[in-house]
Amino acid sequence: MKILQFGRTGQVATALRAAAQGRSEIIALSRADCDLADPERLRATILAADCDLVVNAAAFTQVDPAEAAPEAAFAVNARAPAAMAAACAERGLPFAHLSTDAVFDGRTDRAYVETDRAEPINVYGRSKLAGEQAVLAHPRTVVLRISWVFSRYGRNYVSFMLKLARERETLKVVADQFGTPTDGEALADFLVATAPRWAAAPADDPAFGLFHFANAGETSRFDFAKAAIDRDPMTKARLEPTTQAAFAEPAPRPPRSPLDTAKLRAVFGFSPEAWRPAVERTADRLVSTGLAG
């Protein structure tokens, strides 16, 4: 399998390159290689590529800065993937795109399913929803909504909490925001393993469309952090629960956005691991390699 990947240094992009070793050939492009704000450049890159699948692992993921820079967020999260999907359709290539739980407003008493109405409450969520809608207008496109991604790679919630817990005596963590963490390395492995199916599948195959991908179970930001920090013997911080309102962040967050993955299991036979052992394993790896410090 030859995979053209937009995004090279981000968390999921790095995990994808690691997962592909010995299994698939990945051509990973950074923003320096291909400007995401240039739709014609994106089109030309895809039309010229020798590949079986295109994966978009690039995004404007900074939720608070997006509030002050909506044009930049929409350029990367909406217009760029729209151009990618259109070019893939032009060539008859399958296209895999990553989205987010932030397309929901968080006013729910159950896990969200793919058919639930998306009503984002911040610029980041609105830009990602626009990207979803644009790419799903094209055939042979799959969108995977993910949430609270963590891995051994890059700066993410697990690595950041481990670092802070070594530096501070007291660490205040939001306890009134709930969701489903996503193991970025399991996501990368799934994408690489499923690439041959997408490459061979016709447009009406159920493997295309919108899916939720997250670990099993729901948790709070507080318990998410605690599960990681408890694995580090060098932790000195005492965790204290706090509220989202206490942080007064520029962008509002959905208070509860767990993702239901039943459709993923039904179509692909993939059963996500429970979130806690996945977080603990990642924290153990970070601590053992000194990356938590």
Residue at token pair 């199916």: 197
State phi, psi for 238 to the nearest 5 degrees.
-100, 125
- Give the chain's radius of gyration (CA, Å): 19
Element housing 2 (H / E): strand 2-6
**Which of 226, 14, 212 has the alpha carbon at shortest distance from 113?**
212
CA–CA dist 44, 64 (Å, integer): 32
**Which of 48, 10, 47 has the alpha carbon at shortest distance from 28?**
10
CB crowding 214-239: b at 16 or more within 10 Å, else e:
bbeebbbbbbbbbbbbebbeebebeb
Active site residues: 124
CA–CA dist 89, 84 (Å, integer): 9
3 state DSSP class of 49: coil
User: In this structure, are strands 219-220 and 178-179 parallel, antiparallel, or unpaired?
Assistant: antiparallel
In the chain, count of helices (H) and strands (E)?
A: 12, 12
Q: What angle do CA 209, 179, 239 make, to 5 degrees?
A: 155
CA dihedral sign of residues 93, 265, 149, 117:
positive
